[in-house]
Amino acid sequence: MYGSLWRVLPGPVWLRILMLVVALAIILFALSTWVFPFVDALLTPGQPVTVDP
């Protein structure tokens, strides 16, 4: 999967690496901005901190 991604990318090695780094940055930003908060809301309450009867 990742091997074929590397093969379909055009250009010299430095350009392919640059593209992958940019893509990774976009993915990480999207994850922490939208995906992780959404998952976090699904997982809550998480660690309980209150005393309850």
Partner 1 sequence: MVRSAIGVAGELLVTAGVLVFLFLGWQLWIQGIALNNAQTNEASGLSQQWNASPVGPVAPANTDPAASTGAPPADGSSGVAPVVMAAPAETKQFAVLYVPRFGADYKRTIAEGVDAKAVLNAGGAGHYEQSAMPGAMGNFAIAAHRDGWGSPFIKINELKIGDPIYVETQDGWYTYRYRDTEYVTPEGVDVLGAVPQVPDAAPTDRLITLTSCNPLYIASERIIAYGVLDSFTPRSAGAPAEIAGLTGKGA
Pick between residue 11 and residue 37 the one whose CB is nearest to partner 1.
Answer: 37
Pick out residues in 3-42 that bind partner 1 (CB under 8 A): 28, 31-32, 36-37, 39-41
**CA pair distance 47, 23, nearest whole angstrom:** 34
**Alpha-carbon distance 13 to 17, whole Å?**
6
Residues 6+ away with beta carbon under 8 Å from 11: 19
User: Least distance in Å: CB of 24 to partner 1?
Assistant: 11
Residues that bind partner 1 in the complex, under the rule CB under 8 A: 1-2, 28, 31-32, 36-37, 39-41, 44-53
